[in-house]
Amino acid sequence: MAAHVANRKAQMEVSMLVRDPAVCRSINENHFNYKYFPEHKLPENVTATSDAKTALLGADYCLHAVPVQFSTSFLEGIAEHVDPGLPFISLSKGLELNTLRMMSQIIPQALKNPRQPFSALSGPSFALELMNKLPTAMVVASKDKKLAHAVQQLLSCSHLRISTSSISITAAAPHIRLLFFCSCDEVVTPDNLRDVTGVEIAGALKNVLAIAAGIVEGMNLGNNSMAALVAQGCSEIRWLATKMGGKPATITGLSGTGDIMLTCFVNLSRNKRVGVRLGSGEELEDILSSMNQVAEGVSTAGAVIALAQKYNVKMPVLTAVARIIDSELTPKKAVLELMSLPQVIQTP
């Protein structure tokens, strides 16, 4: 996303706050991130720093991409440098394991500012394809309509559509300074424009569903079972999101069905790859230790059972993933359990 925004306007200052000094040097000296996308040169107007105060000074927007499980401690550590009016654009998808909080709750609470401007960006968007400037469509949701529109104007370009509601697109102002922590139209009404809950729940739980889809593939259960499982998982996500106050239309849009299809059916997905390896018989500990990026679905799965109980929603597919991850259930037994569920009458 830093590369994307910097490419839009050469005059923009885009600062990345990174932890690794070697990555910081690699970006500043060679304009490459040697750990991730080492073959993609970053724009000249992208700089990196490990100092939060320097990164945040004068920032007009902050794009937050820290994994959910580490966001609270990270934000608490930089809170003194965050301007209370700095708008946050959350790219992180997941639920905090022990508290069940979404990013829309984590960010203002960790910064001790309930009025911290917040928006959530979601949708079917593999980072590699964005880096290669392939056509992509996403959706931004915020309770602040003006902020949602501002994010749309900031990020939209010829190969990236950002849906909110119907407005004209103008070029972002060249003086904006940004900070990064690192198809078809969706019909967006004023209600689901502000449906932060729907966007965040869909973005979090699609990662859990992707693990389930991977398990099906790893066990070689075929296309029929894959389609049935993903359809059931979509329903479970919709049931829970609706109970939590989300809009059904959000779940059938880009940030719901769109993101679910991409994550469940394409092997670029980290979460799906975890599922494939689980279904093939590997141990979770070995899988995670071999990865250099976070598969958010593993942690988020732990919150699914608690949410299902709290909102009294039956979620057999997603809770089965949580039980597999907790070693309470093997993939083979999970399949037998799901196939033994009571037959139901399909309702419209």
**Is 70 one of the annotated binding-site residues?**
yes
Domains of the chain: 1-163 (3.40.50.720), 204-340 (1.10.1040.10)
**Mean pLDDT per 10-residue interval, the chain, length 348 residues:** 92 93 95 93 95 94 95 96 97 93 97 97 94 95 94 94 55 52 45 79 95 96 94 95 94 93 92 95 94 87 93 95 94 90 62
Q: Does an H or E element contain 273, and which? A: helix 270-279
Q: By the 8 A CB rule, do 161 and 213 touch?
A: no
For 121-176, write each residue's pLDDT tens digit.
999 999 999 999 999 999 999 999 999 999 999 999 999 999 983 233 333 344 45
Is residue 231 classed as helix, strand or coil in its secondary structure?
helix
d(Cα 229, Cα 135) in Å, to the nearest integer? 28
DSSP 8-state assignment for residue 35: S
Is 127 annotated to bind a ligand? Reply is yes
Q: Is 314 annotated as a binding residue?
A: no
Burial per residue of 297-314, b for 16 or more beta-carbon CB atoms within 10 angstroms, e otherwise: bbbbbbbbbebbeeeebe
pTM of the model: 0.85
The answer to whether the annotation marks 265 as part of a ligand binding site is no
- How do the residues of the chain divide into helix, strand and coil, expressed in percent and rounded to 5? 50, 10, 40
Q: Is 93 annotated as a binding residue?
A: yes
Q: From residue 283, how far is each of 201, 209, 269, 273, 325 by CA, in Å? A: 27, 19, 19, 13, 9
Residue written as token pair 């911290």: 116
Catalytic residues: 206
